[in-house]
Amino acid sequence: MKIVMLGAPGAGKGTQAKMIADKYSIPHISTGDIFRANIKEGTPLGAKAKEYMDKGLLVPDELVCDLVVDRIQQDDCKNGYILDGFPRTIPQAEALTDALSKISDKVEYAINVEVPDENIVNRMGGRRACVGCGATYHVKYNPPKVEDVCDKCGEKLILRDDDKPETVQKRLDVYHEQTQPLIDYYTKQGVIAEVDGTVDMNEVFDNIVKLLEA
Ligand code: AMP
């Protein structure tokens, strides 16, 4: 099962990607998480990525494509994977299609989690991320058991720099300009699956499972 998650920042695609990865025992590959781990470890890739991320901009394609193409060739990806946050531009989607076509393979499902911009702006302010393991929560829709403490690892929860209101609008503009065209791209490949992302997260998940198992 090779799945790509599409949707605006804050549409909940990361949460859904983790739930799908758990259900089908496939790796969840989030480019955002990979960059954040690199920033935390102080790697050169992290330093470069941070310059763009803090401004709400996309990290250049050349820093992302090889990283993902290498990752999906690892052993644990043999039975499939779920890509979360990649591709985000047409050149990234083409790089993925090319890499897969070399092994006579293709993306099987591109799941688009649809949420209008106005809902996103409201949601992002309430989002909290764990400084330790990167798990994400929402103060209202998906709160941790103890305020500002990660359920999974006990570390502190913070509002990520790129979830701050001034950066959110920029990320939405970038999404509409550079990432939304991927909906057409995967529609043409015949693999798009659309779900309403405004309903409860468990309902979104059930609807995704129905599409995957139809
Ligand atoms: P995310 O956690 O997926 O929302 O990603 C956070 C930030 O990481 C984005 O706003 C981008 O700056 C950067 N990023 C993650 N994935 C990509 C990608 N595929 N292409 C370019 N930049 C990315």
Query: CA 134, CA 152: separation in Å to the nearest integer?
Result: 10
pLDDT of residue 44: 95
pLDDT at 51: 94
> What is the token pair recorded at 77?
């990806």
Domains and CATH numbers, the chain: 2-117+172-212 (3.40.50.300)
| pLDDT value of residue 125 | 86
Indicate which residue's Cα is closest to atom 2 of ligand 1: 32
Q: What is the pLDDT tens value at each position of the chain, 214 positions in all?
A: 999 999 999 899 999 999 999 999 999 999 999 999 999 999 999 999 999 998 889 999 999 999 999 999 999 999 999 999 999 999 999 999 999 999 899 999 999 999 999 899 888 889 999 999 989 899 988 899 999 999 999 999 999 888 888 888 899 999 999 999 999 999 999 999 999 999 999 999 999 999 999 8
Q: Pick the catalytic residue: 2, 88, 123, 128?
A: 88
Q: Is 71 a catalytic residue?
A: no
pLDDT at res. 56: 87
- Do you know the residue count of the chain? 214
Closest-CA residue, ligand 1 atom 8, reads 32
Distance 214 CA to ligand 1 centre (A): 31
| Residue whose tokens read 């043409």 | 188
* Catalytic one of 2, 36, 123, 160: 160
Confidence (pLDDT) at 164 = 86
CA of 173 from ligand 1 middle (Å) equals 14
Q: What is the pTM of this model?
A: 0.89
> Within 10 Å of residue 18's Cβ, how many Cβ atoms?
16
Residues 6+ apart with CB under 8 A from 8: 115, 117, 120, 172, 175, 179
Most distant CA pair in the chain: distance in Å?
48
Does residue 123 carry a catalytic annotation? no
Pocket test for ligand 1, best of 88, 163, 170 (most atoms within 8 A of CB): 88
Kindly report the backbone phi and psi dihedral angles of residue 196, in degrees, each rounded to the nearest multiple of 5, phi listed first.
-80, 120
CA dist 17 and 173 (Å) reads 23
Tell how far the Cα of 58 is from the centroid of ligand 1, in angstroms: 6
